[in-house]
Amino acid sequence: MENKIQHILQLLNIKEINKGSSTGSHWFYGENLTSIFSPVDGEEIAKVSFASKEVYDKTVEQAEKAFVIWRNWPAPKRGEIVRQIGEALRAHKSALGTLVSYEMGKSLQEGLGEVQEMIDICDFAVGLSRQLYGLTMHSERPQHRMYEQWHPLGAVGIISAFNFPVAVWTWNAVLAWVCGNVCIWKPSEKTPLTAIACQQIISKVFEENKVPEGVSCLLCGDSILGEKLARDSKIALLSATGSTRMGKAVAQAVAARLGKYLLELGGNNAIIISAEADLDMSLIGAVFGAVGTAGQRCTSTRRLIIHESVYHTFKEKLVKAYGQLKIGNPLDEQNHVGPLIDKQAVALYLAAIEKCKAQGGNFIVEGGVLSGEVYTSGCYVKPCIAEVEPHFDIVKTETFAPILYIMKYKSLDEAIAIQNDVPQGLSSAIMTNNLREAELFLSVNGSDCGIANVNIGTSGAEIGGAFGGEKETGGGRESGSDAWRAYMRRQTNTINYSTQLPLAQGIKFDI
Task: Tell me which residues are annotated as active site.
Answer: 264
Could you give the CA distance from residue 185 to residue 304 in angstroms, rounded to a whole number? 36
Cα–Cα distances in Å, from 401 out to 10, 27, 166, 267, 289?
Answer: 33, 33, 20, 12, 11
Residues 6 or more apart whose Cβ sits within 8 Å of residue 246: 223, 226, 240, 265
Sign of CA dihedral 246, 250, 256, 261: negative
- Asked if 249 and 224 touch (Cβ cutoff 8 Å), the reply is no
Q: Which of 224, 77, 222, 71 is nearest to 156 (CA)?
A: 71
- Asked if 458 and 428 touch (Cβ cutoff 8 Å), the reply is yes
- Asked if 178 and 485 touch (Cβ cutoff 8 Å), the reply is no
Could you give the CA distance from residue 510 to residue 301 in angstroms, rounded to a whole number? 67
Report the 10 Å Cβ neighbour count for 61: 12
Cα–Cα distances in Å, from 160 out to 27, 166, 433, 456?
Answer: 17, 8, 38, 26
Q: Which of 30, 417, 35, 384 is nearest to 190 (CA)?
A: 35
Outline where DSSP puts E strands in 288-414.
Answer: 301-307, 362-365, 384-387, 403-409
Centroid of chain to Cα 424: 15
Could you give the CA distance from residue 39 to residue 115 in angstroms, rounded to a whole number? 20
Residues 6 or more apart whose Cβ sits within 8 Å of residue 417: none
- Asked if 340 and 379 touch (Cβ cutoff 8 Å), the reply is yes
Q: How many helices (H) and strands (E) does the chain have?
A: 14, 22
Centroid of chain to Cα 314: 31
Could you give the CA distance from residue 438 to residue 82 in angstroms, rounded to a whole number? 38
Could you give the CA distance from residue 416 to residue 136 in angstroms, rounded to a whole number? 41
